[in-house]
A and B are shown apart, each in its own frame.
Chain A
Amino acid sequence: MSAVAVALRTRRRLRGRAAVGAAILVILVLVALLAPVLAPHDPNAIDPSRVLAGPDASHPFGSDALGRDVLSRVLFAYRVSLGVAVGSVLVAMAVGIPLGLLAGYHGGWVDSLLMRPVDLLLALPALLLALSLIAIIGPGSGVALFAIAVIYLPILARVVRGSVLGVKGEAYVIGARARGVSRTGCMLRHVLPNSLGPAVVQASVLMGFAIQIEAALSFLGLGAQPPTPSLGLMLADGYQVLQQAPWADIYPGLAIAITVLAFTLIGDGLRDHFDPRGVSR
């Protein structure tokens, strides 16, 4: 098969992936938003008669150690986890993209000044950095959101910077300058929109990771604090009753896995269109 045919087939497959990922994500977001409507029971309702009861018609995901409905709990916990994951990456984008744009566009001492501290953040393993911040500020889902944003800010900044470095040398940018557009105007109107592609791809992938990190932090007891629900907390509780009631552990984990899958598929699929040069990771 010719190289062209292979490339076209790959393209189609990737677009298919992105579509599947997007479809899953849309469903998940709807589920998260509509949790109060969809949940069959009150997630906090303790029911001694249903302690560790298995899945059945009225409780499709079973019940946990306090007789609470796992399905309802998963729905509400999912809102928090997804919210933190998406929110943290959005914050990281809000700070990281301008940083990367300025550093890449101006270069020289501005680049060093902005990117040095950013690079230092990358010197620590991600989870460790998050834990350090939580050690200083104290646990909580808000802190978790902040910490995750701090972890992913450098990655987004670097991706945008790399992308900008490529775009700023393009003919249409130089042409704009030749037409008399100011440096800032050029940066904002020409360079920025064309550099965002890889950042979008990266952000998508990072949202998938972010939900995993949020779950990990909550699992360790350092993220969302009860009564705020979180999938990580559910996993920690579920682990305690693993043998007697595996569903308390399986369903929250499944929710996370499906979410990561959706984001990864979208990222992979978008990569072909938005990031042909593979600047993102």
Chain B
Amino acid sequence: MSTRTRYIAERVLLAIPTLLAMTVFVFLLIRLVPGDPVQTMLGFRATPQNVATIRHQLHLDEPLLTQYIDWMKGLVHGDLGRDYVSHAPLSELLGNALPVTLELTFLSMGLALVIGVPMGVMAAARPGTARRLTDGFVILGVSIPDFWLGTLLVLLFAATLVWLPPSGYTPFTADPVGNLRYMALPVLTLAIGEAAYIARTTRGAMDQALGAPFVTFLRAKGLAERSIVFRHALRNASVPIVTVAGIQFGVLLGGAIVIETLFGLPGVGRLTVTAINQRNYTVVQGAVLVIATLFIIVNLVTDLLYGWLDPRIDAGAER
């Protein structure tokens, strides 16, 4: 087995215990709630009868391990349980909400990269005004809380200029233009904050790459400056950039939760918040599971991306 294949296998195998541990944590969520979670969940709808029924359905009267195994079995079959308040199966609820969150996070990360990477490259390759502007942008982007930025953008684009709607959602499949109009402000909000981090990392990594000794030899070969910056330096800088993008995706998911709430997007994040406020524990459990799994998968993909980008990993060298 080549080292590269071994690296991929290693990473995938490492992700599994993390996934399992996460499921244990999520599983314990309901069970750790002080008092009777079912009672709290049902609220005024609780009668001794349906509390007992639901407790039985959730296997809460069985030993912990059996519960876990039953639940995991259900998960593998795609059964995440049900929402006892609305009576909808969770897989349906989450299935509807997930695409919204995915659209939001991926568009935001994409836009952040499109803004941040070129900015960082320019700042490193052309010191002076470009660098100072990038510095300023980075400092602002990092300091401003994303949801506050969201409100400011709403103030500007929705309230004052009335170009874009402040909230609401329609699926892409139903109305692509409408969908993008609703997504524009949320995506912009998240992207600006992320772009600041990415620009900062890109600039640092490019500074390092451009200062590396092999760059002198590249110049001695008579290569055009553009080739040196974009082909060689950027390629060498890509590992730290991907690293930060991966880490920032986690932050982005967190930010998405707040932004969805702010802009009224029916994603998994907003679902989580409403469920917590309503003490709707099974929904909380399902939503947390989905978001956490998404995060672990993205981290895995990022890890795999390193292996492809940095040939030294291939040889088993220490990162």
Contact = CB atoms under 8 A, between A and B. Distances in A.
A249 interface: yes
B29 A219 contact: no
B143 interface: yes
B215 interface: no
Interface stretch (A160-168, A188-196, A257-265): A257-265
A256 B253 contact: no
A112 interface: no
Contact of A260 (B142, B262, B277): B142
Contacts of B251: 125-127
Contacts of B261: 219-220
Interface in B133-161: 139, 142-145, 147-148, 151-152, 154-155, 159
A139 to B, nearest CB: 8
A251 to B, nearest CB: 11
Nearest to B30: A136
A239 B155 CA distance: 9
A239 B18 contact: no
Interface residues of B, number: 41
Contact of B22 (A124, A134, A235, A261): A124
A128 B273 contact: no
A257 B144 contact: yes
Contacts of A198: none
Given A123-B296, A132-B288, A261 B151 contact: no
A265 B145 CA distance: 16
Contacts of A250: 152
Nearest to A151: B254
A127 B145 contact: no
Contacts, number: 122
B145 A238 contact: no
Contact of B277 (A136, A222, A253, A264): A222
A243 B151 CA distance: 10
Contacts of B292: 123-125, 128
A201 to B, nearest CB: 15
Interface stretch (A32-40, A70-78, A96-104, A208-216): A208-216
Contacts of B291: 125, 128
A242 B154 contact: yes
Contact of A127 (B25, B159, B255, B284): B255
A88 B26 CA distance: 23
Interface residues of A, number: 37
Most buried by A among B151, B253, B273: B151
A221 interface: yes
A100 B151 CA distance: 39
Given A127-B258, A220-B261, A264-B139, A134 B276 contact: yes
Contacts of A238: 151
B68 interface: no
A77 B148 CA distance: 16
A80 B144 CA distance: 19
B224 interface: no
Interface string A258-274: 10110011000000000
Given A123-B296, A243-B155, A253-B152, 16 more contacts: A120-B22, A125-B254, A127-B255, A127-B258, A128-B254, A128-B272, A131-B273, A131-B288, A135-B33, A215-B148, A216-B254, A220-B257, A235-B147, A243-B159, A249-B151, A249-B155
19 contacts: A120-B22, A123-B292, A126-B254, A127-B258, A131-B257, A132-B26, A134-B276, A136-B32, A137-B34, A216-B258, A220-B261, A239-B154, A242-B154, A243-B159, A249-B152, A253-B145, A257-B148, A261-B139, A261-B143
Top 8 A-B residue pairs of the complex, sorted by shortest distance between their CB atoms: A127-B254, A253-B148, A125-B250, A260-B143, A261-B143, A125-B253, A243-B159, A212-B145
